[in-house]
Structure 1
C-alpha cells in the first residue's frame, strides 16, 4: 500500500514518517537547512501486512505542484494536522486535492499532541471533522500522536497495518504504465527512474517507451517497494534501471510516463469532466487559462466548457482541455487544475476522450459521443459508441486509450458480438446490426444500379463507399467487400463492384465484331494498337459503329481509351502500370525510360511505340492519378495501382497476346471481311 502525507507546512509530516519508519525523508541539503520539505521524500516500512511505502509531500503553498506529483499515485492518505495550529489553508487545499483525485481511504494524525491539552485536542478534532465533511475522507478516524514523545505512534502504525491488510488496491489487468517522479544517474547502474506503477506490470528485460518523447528503453533491473525484484505491478512503488540509445537522466523528466510501447500515443486535446471548487470566485469561461496536473506532470492548459458558455463555481460539467504540449494519459485518469499563478486549486475531474476534435466540439452528436465514452465500464462505453455516428471505431485505439490489456480488443468484440474488419494494422469494429444493415444497403444499391445500367459491368468502389449510410474508411471498406465476395454476395473487379449474379453481354452482332477487333489490339501491336479509324477502314465498318463498340467495351472494363479514339486492352494497360511501378522503384522515371521499357517488350521496327504514344500513355496515367508528374519526371501513386486491376509483368503479357496470335487475328479478320 502506498501512503501519502497531506497537510500544512511545519505540521510535522516528515517527523511523523521518521517516527514510523526511522527514515528522514528530507534528503536535500536545502531541506535540512530550512527545516521544510521542498521535494518528494520516500520511506518504506516492512510490516506483517507487507511493505508500506510512504510519500512525504511538501506542505508549503509554493510547492503544491510537487505535492500533486506525489499525491496522484497514493492509495491511502495520512493527513497531518498540528494540534497547536489546527486546520490551516494548505490543510484545506490538500484535502480538496485528495478529494479531486478520488482518494477515499485515509486517517488523520493529530500531530504535536504533546503541545495541546485535552480541550485543545477536542477543539482541533472538531475542526478537522468539519473540514472533512463533504469530502471522500469524511468520517476518517483521528488519532493523537507525537513524534517527540512517541505518543500514539504504535497505535498509528497498527492502524496503518490494519488498513493495508484489508486494503483492496485496484490491480488493473491493463498494460504497464509508471508515472515518473524522479530521474537520476546512479554510479555503476546508469539511468534510474522512480514512480508508482499506475496499471499493469513490468518485468526485467521488458521493452518500454518513455512517453511523450517516444524514447525506447529496456528494463535492466527493478526495485519494487525498495527491494530488488524481477517484477513490478500496479500499486507498487518502483525504481527502474533503464538502458538504451539516448536514455539518460536528462532525457527523462518528472511527469514522463514509462509504458508499454503499444500505449505510446500522446495527446494535447482532451475532453473531460470537471468539477469546479466552490471556493472559486468566478465562472470558468471559454479559453480559461490554467495549469493541469496529471500524474507527476504539470502543463499549461486552456479550458473550453462544452455544456454552456461558462462553468460556475461548485458546478460539474464537460469541458475540453487544450494543452500547451502533449502528455501521456489514459481515459478515466484523474487530473487537477490550478490557476496560472500557482496560488490556488480550481478543480479537477477525469479524462473522457483523449482524441477530442478541434471543431464541432459542442454539437449534440459530439456530446452524445462524450456521454458514451464517459462510461467507466469499457464494455458499456464501447456498446454506446458503436451505435453513434460514424457507427464504427478503431477497436485497438479504444483499448489503447484506456490502457486495457493486449487481449482486450478481442474480448470486447466477443462480449458485444461486434463485426471486426482488420485493415492496415487497424481493427475496425461495428455492431452486428450495423453490419447487417450495411450488407443489405450494398446489395440494394448495386441491384438498383444494375437495373438502371444493365449494360455496365458495375459501380465504382469509391462511389459506392461514399453513398452508404455507414461510411467505412477505404481500407476497411475494401476488407468488407472482400468478405462479401467470399460469401458469394458480390464480385470486385479492380475499381468496380457488382452483384455476383450480374453479367453484361454484348449484342450478337457486337459480340461477333469484338471477336474480330480484339486480336487487332493484342499481339505485337498491343502497345500501339490501331485507332478507331484504322480499324473501321480495315473492316469496312462505319467509324461510329466501331467507336460505339469501344465505348461499350470501356464501360465493361475490357478496354481503356488512352487517347482520343485510341483504345488499349485492359490487361495491356494493367501490364503498363506494372512497368511504370517497376521503373519507379528507384524513385522517379522519365518518359524516355518508360518508352524504352515498353519497346523492350514490344520490339522496335513497325511495332515500335515511339515517344508520342509513350507520352499519351503516361498522360492517361496522370489523369487517373496513377502517376504524379513533376516537370519531365513522374512517380507512382501507390494508392491508385489497383485502378486497372492487378499490375501484370512482362512474363504474363502472353495472357493479352493469347487472344490473338497474329495468324489467328488475320484469319478472323479475313473471315469477317468475306
Structure 2
C-alpha cells in the first residue's frame, strides 16, 4: 500500500513520516536548509505479519509546489491528511483535500499534528471542523487522530491504523494489463546508469523486459520495489528501474515507461469530470486549465460535451485539447487546476485517449463515450463493437485499455456487418444497371461508393467473406454480382476468338464495333451483344461508346499513367499523349475512361493517380 501525506506547509508531514518510519524524506540540501519539502520524498516500513512494505510519499505543501504534490498523489492508495493544531485549516489543507477527493480516493485518515501546542479543547474543536470539511468528499468517513511526532503521542495508534489498512488493501488488478509507470524522478548512478522512479500504475515489470520511454526502447537492467531489490514489481508499488539504452535527459518527469505496444501520446482526450463543489462558477467550454495526469502536467482547453457547462458539484463529459502530448489511458485519473495554477477546479477519469476533433458531440459519439464508462474491458469491447458501424480497430482498443496482449486487426459487429453487406450488394446492383458493359468496380472504387470511411484492411476482410459465401464474385481487380458476367454462349465464344487479333492489332487506337462486325463478317447486333458480354467479364473495355480495347492494351496504358503520376504527381493530357504516341483526342478519351473507372481522378485540367486502385495492375508471374 502507498500512503500519501498531504497538508499545508510546516504542518509536520515530514516529521510525522520520520516518526512512523525512521526515514527523513527531506533529501535535498535546499530542503534541509529551508526546512520544507520541495520534491517528493519516500519512506518505507515493514507491515508485521504481511510480508509487504508500507510506502510513504511525502509531498510538499507549499502553494507553488502543488504540481509536485499532484505528481505524487496520482499513485497513492491511502491518504494521510495533516492539519496542525496550532494553525488549523489552511489554504493548502483545503486544496490537498480537494485533490485527494477529486482523484477518487476513499481510503484515508486525518492526523491533527502538534497537539502539544494546542490549548485545552482546541483539538476537539479542530476535529469537528475537519469532520465538516470532509463532508461530501470521498474521505468523509476517514478517522481523525491527534498526534505529536516529537513526543510520540498517538504515533503508535496511527501506525497500527495504517498497518491494518495495508492488511485490508485489495491487490491492484494486474492481470491482462501492460506495465505503465509514471516517471516522477530520473537520476544517474555510477556503475548502474539511468534510473527512473515512479509508481507502477498497471501491470508488472520484470528484470530484462524491453520497455519504451519517450519513443526510445530500453531494457530493465535491475529493479527495486518498495526500496528492495526484486526480479519483478507489480502495480501499486513504488519502483526504481535501472534502464540500459537510455540517458537521464530522455526521461523527464511526466514521461511514461510502458510496454511498447501500448505506448501512446495524445493531444486530445475525452473524460468525465466532476467540478469541485466549492467552485464559485460553472466550468464552461473554452476554459483554459492546467491538466495533471500521471506525473505530467500541461495547459489545455475544455470543450463541454454535455450541454454548455458543468455546475459546481456536478459531473459531465468533456474533451480536453492539450497544448502538447500526454500519456493517458482509459480509466486514468486526472485533475484540473485553473489557468493561473492557483486552485484546483475539477477531477475526473479518462474515457478515450483517441478523441475525435470532429463530430465530438453527435449522439453516436456520446453513445461511444457511454460505452467507455462501462465497468469492464469485455463489456466495453462488446458495446463499442455493437456501436461501430465502420468496425472496431482492435489494436487501438487494446492500446487505449493498456492491455498486456497486443491486439490486431479489426472486428465488425453482426448488425453493422448486415447493414454493410446490404449496402454493398445494392451499390453493385445499381452499378451493373448503370454500366452494363463494365464487369464491375475495383475494390477501392467500391469502397468509396459504399463506405469511404471504413478501414482498408477491414474492407478487404468483408470482401473476402462475401466472396467465400458466394454473395459477390471477383475477377482480376473487379468486384461484381455473381449473376453479372455469366458464361459466354458457343456463338459468343466463336466471335470472341475472331475479334481478338483485330483488337490486338488496333492497340491503343481501339476498334469500333461496326468495323469489327464488317472485318469479321458477323451480324452487327450479334457482335455488339458479344462485345457487351466480354466487357461485362472484363475481357475488353469500352473507352467511349462503341470503341473497344483489349485488356493487354489497357494494362500497358495504365502502366504509363502510373509512371507519369509517380514521377510528376499528376498526369496531363500532353504528357500522356507524348508517352503513348496517340493523338490528343484519343489520349484524352483514355484519361477520361481511367477517371470513370477509378484509376485516376480529374482535378481541374489534371488527372491524379488513385494509389489504392488495383485496376489494370500488371500480373506478376511467380
Question: Partner of 1:305 in structure 2?
Answer: 304
Q: Would the alpha carbon gap of residues 529 and 306 (structure 1) be closer, same or farther in structure 2, given more than 3 Å must change?
A: closer
Q: Is the 8 A contact 1:563 1:620 kept in 2?
A: no
Work out whether 1:639 is the aligned partner of 2:620.
no
Question: Partner of 2:255 in structure 1?
Answer: 256
How many angstroms apart in 2 are the aligned matches of 1:501 and 1:90? 76
Counterpart among 147, 153, 156 of residue 154 in structure 1? 156
How many angstroms apart in 2 are the aligned matches of 1:391 and 1:566? 40
How many angstroms apart in 2 are the aligned matches of 1:192 and 1:527? 70
How many angstroms apart in 2 are the aligned matches of 1:267 and 1:166? 36
Q: Is the 8 A contact 2:274 2:348 kept in 1?
A: yes
Question: Partner of 2:466 in structure 1?
Answer: 484
CA drift at 1:147: 1.5
CA drift at 1:53: 1.2
Q: Is the 8 A contact 2:570 2:609 kept in 1?
A: no
Question: Partner of 1:559 in structure 2?
Answer: 540
Aligned length: 607
Question: Partner of 1:242 in structure 2?
Answer: 243
CA drift at 1:515: 2.2
How many angstroms apart in 2 are the aligned matches of 1:561 and 1:439? 29
Q: Would the alpha carbon gap of residues 626 and 455 (structure 1) be closer, same or farther in structure 2, given more than 3 Å must change?
A: closer
What's the RMSD between the two structures over aligned residues? 3.7
Using the TM superposition, name which of 538-547 and 288-297 deviates more: 538-547
How many angstroms apart in 2 are the aligned matches of 1:571 and 1:85? 91
How many angstroms apart in 2 are the aligned matches of 1:535 and 1:391? 47
How many angstroms apart in 1 are the aligned matches of 2:510 and 2:25? 91
Unaligned runs of 5+ in 1: 410-425, 596-608, 653-674
Could you report, residue by residue, the CA deviation over 1:475-510 in whole angstroms, capped at 9, with x for unpaired residues? Answer: 312211112222333212234323345543557655
Counterpart among 506, 512, 515 of residue 494 in structure 2? 512
Q: Would the alpha carbon gap of residues 528 and 302 (structure 1) be closer, same or farther in structure 2, given more than 3 Å must change?
A: closer
How many angstroms apart in 2 are the aligned matches of 1:171 and 1:272? 21
Question: Partner of 2:20 in structure 1?
Answer: 20
Question: Partner of 1:667 in structure 2?
Answer: none
TM-score under structure 1 normalisation?
0.81
Matched residue SS, 1:87 = coil
Question: Partner of 1:291 in structure 2?
Answer: 290
Question: Partner of 1:178 in structure 2?
Answer: 181
Question: Partner of 1:569 in structure 2?
Answer: 550
Question: Partner of 1:539 in structure 2?
Answer: 520
Q: Is the 8 A contact 1:7 1:94 kept in 2?
A: yes
How many angstroms apart in 1 are the aligned matches of 2:580 and 2:279? 80
Could you report, residue by residue, the CA deviation over 1:78-119 in whole angstroms, capped at 9, with x for unpaired residues? Answer: 111212222222111111110100111112222122223552
CA drift at 1:385: 2.4
Q: Would the alpha carbon gap of residues 486 and 545 (structure 1) be closer, same or farther in structure 2, given more than 3 Å must change?
A: closer
Q: Is the 8 A contact 1:206 1:219 kept in 2?
A: yes
Could you report, residue by residue, the CA deviation over 1:114-146 in whole angstroms, capped at 9, with x for unpaired residues? Answer: 223552221222222222121111121222222
CA drift at 1:625: 6.6
Q: Would the alpha carbon gap of residues 576 and 331 (structure 1) be closer, same or farther in structure 2, given more than 3 Å must change?
A: same
CA drift at 1:620: 7.8
Q: Would the alpha carbon gap of residues 450 and 562 (structure 1) be closer, same or farther in structure 2, given more than 3 Å must change?
A: closer
How many angstroms apart in 1 are the aligned matches of 2:174 and 2:266? 22
Q: Is the 8 A contact 1:438 1:470 kept in 2?
A: no
Q: Would the alpha carbon gap of residues 368 and 355 (structure 1) be closer, same or farther in structure 2, given more than 3 Å must change?
A: same
Unaligned runs of 5+ in 2: none
Work out whether 1:189 is the aligned partner of 2:222.
no
CA drift at 1:262: 0.7
Q: Is the 8 A contact 2:444 2:612 kept in 1?
A: no
Question: Partner of 2:350 in structure 1?
Answer: 351
1:376-455 pair list within 5 angstroms:
376-388=375-387, 390=389, 392-406=391-405, 427-439=409-421, 442-443=424-425, 446=428
TM-score under structure 2 normalisation?
0.87
How many angstroms apart in 2 are the aligned matches of 1:286 and 1:452? 49
Could you report, residue by residue, the CA deviation over 1:432-480 in whole angstroms, capped at 9, with x for unpaired residues? Answer: 2333454455456656766887776446545654565897433312211
Q: Would the alpha carbon gap of residues 361 and 447 (structure 1) be closer, same or farther in structure 2, given more than 3 Å must change?
A: closer
Could you report, residue by residue, the CA deviation over 1:532-551 in whole angstroms, capped at 9, with x for unpaired residues? Answer: 38755643569898677545
Question: Partner of 2:204 in structure 1?
Answer: 201
Work out whether 1:47 is the aligned partner of 2:50.
no
Q: Is the 8 A contact 1:391 1:470 kept in 2?
A: no
How many angstroms apart in 2 are the aligned matches of 1:526 and 1:400? 57
Q: Would the alpha carbon gap of residues 242 and 628 (structure 1) be closer, same or farther in structure 2, given more than 3 Å must change?
A: farther
Using the TM superposition, name which of 163-172 and 192-201 deviates more: 163-172
Using the TM superposition, name which of 495-504 and 44-53 deviates more: 495-504
Question: Partner of 1:664 in structure 2?
Answer: none
Question: Partner of 1:272 in structure 2?
Answer: 271
Question: Partner of 1:328 in structure 2?
Answer: 327
How many angstroms apart in 2 are the aligned matches of 1:491 and 1:610? 33
